[in-house]
């Protein structure tokens, strides 16, 4: 297995590292400290990153994008996350959905949505699935049970659809210009057979943003409530087929998917290891440097070891995906593993730092709060259950 990087991958890695170190990291902590969740967002950094190509990284070259492979997306995500993991997530949220438009939309939809996305540095994307009474069951509904999954209703009216209901915790909620929204078009069957994905511009009458949620971690990242009140959507904004909404995304095997979360976690881990090492080598306790205490050495060893194991797992998974090798479950396992690692590593970093570790002004505390968000990203717990039956026998044929 050859993990050496090609010229293009190195280029993007270097660009992302420079942007993260020089432009993202210096603003990261100050934004995190702002109390109002709507005010934490900084358009300047997003527009600047967009000009450097980070917003449109995954769009095919045919549409003016960079068509970066999965290893490149992983490398960029790691670097940007070292700068600030919620700024990097704002960009990668666009990779998933711009890619889906390019892969699955009609020519007319690409003209209407992908073209403006490519032309406007402030054009962000969001995806609405989760509701107050539907979370992970969006991903693992008890088969064919109409009670499970989203309830937002879409009813046909001539060539149009009328949407009523709401979505919760939706990423880029208060800042996106375009949303991909799952709605129930047949409430009598399960969501696999009875839902449709609609493409909805932000300024559509009957659609508005409600709350912007105030989160403990990833404070820059905007998670909003989407409210639909007799919102009229033309039939030409259906993505894929009516009642084929779940399929529209599931069929797209070339989406970055949850590797983005694992790569993002790796960026945080690198940051935490660097901070812990620096503190341990420069501050004293009991008359000697913190790094000279054996207990701290064991903690640093564990932090380093877990981070390196995560790096190998993430890059291997991205590498396999680039070669279209069969996925026996690594895409999910690497996300599950990243949750364990990012939370253990950031907690150890806090312990090594002493009281400074839990002070609000310090980046140590921010990293731990950011890591906590992984507990509730992408239905991690339910995915752990779901993946088990797909796992192959050991030893794995390579």
Ligand X SMILES: Cc1cc2nc3c(=O)[nH]c(=O)nc-3n(C[C@H](O)[C@H](O)[C@H](O)COP(=O)(O)OP(=O)(O)OC[C@H]3O[C@@H](n4cnc5c(N)ncnc54)[C@H](O)[C@@H]3O)c2cc1C
- Spell out, one character per residue from 137 to 156, where the chain touches ligand X: x when CB under 6 A holds, - when not: x--x----------------
Which residues inside 330-389 make contact with ligand X, applying CB under 6 A? 373, 376-379, 381-382
Whole-angstrom distance, CA of residue 217 vs CA of residue 374: 10
Kindly state the tokens that stand for 202: 């932000």
Among 169, 207, 220, 337, binds ligand X (CB under 6 A): 169
Nearest to 149 by CA among 161, 139, 163, 159: 139
- Spell out, one character per residue from 107 to 136, where the chain touches ligand X: x when CB under 6 A holds, - when not: --------------------xxxx----xx
- Closer CB to ligand X, 256 or 279, in the complex: 256
Q: Supply the minimum distance, in Å, between the C-beta of residue 311 and ligand X.
A: 23
Q: How many residues of this chain interact with ligand X, rule: CB under 6 A?
A: 20
Q: Does 202 bind ligand X (CB under 6 A)?
A: no
- Closer CB to ligand X, 197 or 350, in the complex: 197
Calculate Rg over the CA atoms of the chain.
21
Q: Residue 60 phi/psi, 5° resolution?
A: -60, 150
Residue whose beta carbon is closest to ligand X: 135
**Would you call 58 helix, strand, or coil by DSSP?**
coil
Kindly state the tokens that stand for 184: 């129930």
Among 114, 163, 171, 291, binds ligand X (CB under 6 A): 171
- Closer CB to ligand X, 224 or 357, in the complex: 224
Dihedral over alpha carbons 60, 61, 63, 67 (to 10 degrees): 30
Kindly state the tokens that stand for 330: 């690594």
Q: Supply the minimum distance, in Å, between the C-beta of residue 277 and ligand X.
A: 29
CA–centroid distance for 361 within its chain: 26
- Closer CB to ligand X, 219 or 299, in the complex: 219
Which residues inside 220-239 make contact with ligand X, applying CB under 6 A? 223
CB atoms within 10 A of CB 6: 10
* 8 A C-beta contact, residue 167 and residue 128: yes
Residue whose tokens read 């880029």: 172
Contacting residues toward ligand X, per CB under 6 A: 127-130, 135-137, 140, 169-171, 218, 223, 373, 376-379, 381-382
């Amino acid at each position: 297995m050859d993990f050496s990087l090609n010229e293009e991958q190195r280029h993007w890695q270097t660009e992302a590292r420079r942007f993260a170190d020089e432009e993202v990291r210096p603003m990261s902590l100050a934004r995190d400290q702002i109390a109002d969740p709507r005010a934490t967002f900084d358009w300047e950094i997003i527009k600047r990153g967009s000009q450097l190509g980070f917003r449109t990284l995954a769009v095919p070259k045919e549409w003016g994008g960079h068509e970066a492979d999965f290893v490149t997306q992983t490398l960029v995500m790691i670097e940007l996350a070292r700068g600030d993991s919620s700024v990097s997530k704002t960009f990668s949220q666009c990779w998933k959905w711009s890619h889906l438009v390019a892969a699955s939309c009609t020519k007319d939809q690409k003209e209407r949505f992908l073209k403006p996305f490519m032309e406007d540095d402030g054009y962000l994307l969001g995806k609405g699935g989760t509701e107050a009474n539907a979370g992970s069951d969006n991903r693992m509904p008890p088969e064919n049970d109409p009670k499970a999954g989203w309830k937002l209703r879409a009813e046909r009216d001539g060539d149009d659809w009328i949407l009523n209901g709401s979505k919760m915790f939706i990423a880029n909620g208060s800042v996106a210009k375009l949303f991909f929204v799952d709605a129930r078009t047949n409430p009598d069957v399960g969501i696999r057979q009875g839902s449709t994905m609609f493409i909805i511009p932000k300024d559509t009458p009957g659609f508005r943003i409600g709350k912007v949620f105030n989160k403990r971690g990833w404070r820059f990242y905007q998670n909003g409530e989407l409210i639909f009140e007799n919102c009229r959507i033309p039939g030409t904004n259906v993505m894929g087929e009516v009642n084929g909404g779940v399929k529209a995304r599931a069929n797209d095997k070339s989406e970055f998917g949850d590797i983005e979360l694992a790569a993002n976690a790796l960026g945080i881990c690198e940051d935490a290891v660097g901070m812990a090492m620096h503190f341990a080598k420069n501050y004293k306790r009991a008359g000697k440097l913190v790094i000279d205490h054996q207990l701290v050495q064991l903690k640093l060893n564990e932090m380093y070891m877990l981070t390196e194991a995560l790096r190998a797992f993430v890059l291997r998974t991205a590498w396999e995906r680039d070669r279209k090798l069969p996925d026996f479950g690594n895409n999910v396992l690497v996300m599950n593993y990243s949750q364990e690692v990012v939370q253990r590593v950031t907690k150890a970093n806090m312990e090594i730092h002493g009281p400074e570790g839990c002070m609000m002004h310090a980046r140590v505390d921010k990293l731990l709060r950011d890591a906590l968000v992984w507990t509730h990203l992408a239905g991690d717990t339910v995915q752990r259950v779901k993946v088990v039956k797909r796992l192959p026998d050991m030893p794995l044929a390579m």
